[in-house]
Structure 1
């Protein structure tokens, strides 16, 4: 097979907005013995990509990065010491390439794609073989690209340290990528889901995906009280907390004594959290921060996805050359599920 020496890749020479996204040619690095070369077919975007482009990412990011963390592609070359992989296999990479199993560490987080190291918005990507997992056979490349961050974050939150069980009640906030995967995985695991959104149209999509209860938080600002009423005052077992400071106090109110709040994002903006420690203590709430997950968890999740033939919700697919438009669409928050970029075959 012909191996490319040149790739087109996006860079962010400045980080005051995604208008700085610049498409350039670059050399494809020579493979080390433990590495593979992937022809990238699709990349899914994250809220993280927006804040990296604006220089607002609270964790580390390198200068002039190649953005993007979630690829799906085809193996076109393997290093001489790589075992268990062959050319032609369909793969995605874990978000942090060195997070194989167990808890993250600072050193592991420094291998997160599209932040502290170059990401995957490129036509060809060299990766360590230990970061790879196979894409479930029933998924397209576009669907497979949604798995490494959004899906795995939801899986780690719901089926990680304190796994949900059939009959549990799960609250998912809004209808972005993590929340929609959380809804789907919770339903597949036998849980009951309460979904919130500012849009009735988006809530109808959540209903079709299996949400049992729907709350429009614009129409019902005290949505935490609505949750308690739905649950007969008990509260939910698990919350996927994507709002952060702007919603977490209400999440504590909506959670049962001893329940689990998985802190994932901060899209709802700032708020006064001076009473949060007391509120958490008073209900013996478990707060757990979720930093994506490990390659082992990604493999476990893919087995579940394959077993139930779960199909990721891909809202819209953009061409590689229209990446800025994809960022604009993601920022508009019109989407339900994932926004994906399709990378040319040649």
Structure 2
């Protein structure tokens, strides 16, 4: 095994600062595993960390990205959680094993402020990884740590979704499409909103029941009420922010649940107080989840043979192009395939 490796890093903020560096291959310390990275999934968060840190204090040179899948090639002293040859995926929020989180200062996140995964080898604490699903390739498995687990927390872990309920999923990004698949597998009815009829058609193939084009029907909440015979949806995944929250509150069943996941249109939430009081809705912020929940989700993905939606794969050398794809929007996930030429 070569004593050196390549990794992507930035010397200061900015996507234009990305550069390839040749560095020494790390060695696992006590409690760590050395993972040969096979795929890294990009999140919109990764672009913001590179651009401005996204509230994290970075140590330069900094290697971006949090979500990886790979194979254990060496273990440090005392490691019993994994053996050489096992396939693993990363967790996002470190040290959060289960239950309510400690203070966020005690649980830094991977890919900022902790050094990220865009390297051929990463030495990481064994406690910060879980076994990859047996039914997924590394490219597919790499998409799970943030996007899939966020959808899982919103609907299954915190939302207690059950068969027969109705879910509104806004958009067709990574979290949204995982929400479609998880909700459909749970026996729920899924309504997708999107500005693209083509993307709506694809989402219906994944298990959605109905689609609403929010360009031709900007007051999409009226369509939700029509589709539910005036009742409204039990769960709404709020991805836009701003004034869109008003529409979500009008579309949710009295006493239903609105999960705040994305702020794609605004970094604020705006609504008059009376619609909020009238809805009696629970508005809950969802920020990924603990390792135990990721392990539970992996078992469901294996049981239902759920396949993540990959919009495009790029080679390790094509990272700038992959980031550009994330910026312009994707149907599902954008992944760096380390084996791609």
Contact (CA 8 Å) 2:316, 2:340: kept in 1 or not? no
- Counterparts of 1:132 and 1:345 in 2: how far apart (Å)? 24
- Counterparts of 1:303 and 1:265 in 2: how far apart (Å)? 26
Distance verdict in 2 for CA 1:163–1:29, change over 3 Å: same
Contact (CA 8 Å) 2:26, 2:121: kept in 1 or not? no
* Correspondence for 1:336 among 328, 331, 335: 331
Does the alignment pair 1:239 with 2:236?
A: yes
Instruction: Give the match for residue 308 of structure 1.
Output: 304
Instruction: Give the match for residue 252 of structure 1.
Output: 249
Contact (CA 8 Å) 1:175, 1:337: kept in 2 or not? yes
Does the alignment pair 1:114 with 2:89?
A: no
Does the alignment pair 1:148 with 2:132?
A: no
* Correspondence for 2:158 among 152, 156, 161: 161
TM-score under structure 2 length normalisation: 0.95
* Correspondence for 1:219 among 216, 229, 243: 216
Instruction: Give the match for residue 10 of structure 1.
Output: 8
SS in structure 1 at match of 2:140: helix
Report the alpha carbon displacement of residue 326 of structure 1 after superposing the two structures with TM. 0.4
Instruction: Give the match for residue 188 of structure 2.
Output: 191
Report the alpha carbon displacement of residue 149 of structure 1 after superposing the two structures with TM. 0.6
Instruction: Give the match for residue 48 of structure 2.
Output: 51
RMSD of aligned C-alpha atoms? 1.8
SS in structure 2 at match of 1:303: helix
- Counterparts of 2:132 and 2:268 in 1: how far apart (Å)? 40
Q: Deviations over 1:118-175 (max 9, x none)?
A: 1111111111111111111111000000011100110011111231011110010110
Report the alpha carbon displacement of residue 271 of structure 1 after superposing the two structures with TM. 6.1
Report the alpha carbon displacement of residue 316 of structure 1 after superposing the two structures with TM. 0.6
TM-score under structure 1 length normalisation: 0.93
Instruction: Give the match for residue 314 of structure 2.
Output: 318
After superposing on structure 2, the runs of 4+ consecutive aligned residues of structure 1 that deviate more than 6 Å are none
Does the alignment pair 1:285 with 2:264?
A: no
Contact (CA 8 Å) 1:244, 1:265: kept in 2 or not? yes
Distance verdict in 2 for CA 1:108–1:194, change over 3 Å: farther
Report the alpha carbon displacement of residue 109 of structure 1 after superposing the two structures with TM. 6.8
Q: Deviations over 1:163-205 (max 9, x none)?
A: 1011110010110000000000000011000001111111110
Matches within 5 A, 1:175-190: 175-190=172-187
Does the alignment pair 1:136 with 2:133?
A: yes
- Count of matched residue pairs: 340
Q: Deviations over 1:256-295 (max 9, x none)?
A: 11111111111122567252x4432221111111111111
Report the alpha carbon displacement of residue 37 of structure 1 after superposing the two structures with TM. 0.5
Gaps of 5+ in 1: none
Contact (CA 8 Å) 1:41, 1:345: kept in 2 or not? no
Report the alpha carbon displacement of residue 234 of structure 1 after superposing the two structures with TM. 1.2
SS in structure 2 at match of 1:244: coil
SS in structure 2 at match of 1:54: helix
Distance verdict in 2 for CA 1:246–1:42, change over 3 Å: farther
Matches within 5 A, 1:80-119: 80-107=77-104, 110-119=107-116
Report the alpha carbon displacement of residue 80 of structure 1 after superposing the two structures with TM. 1.6
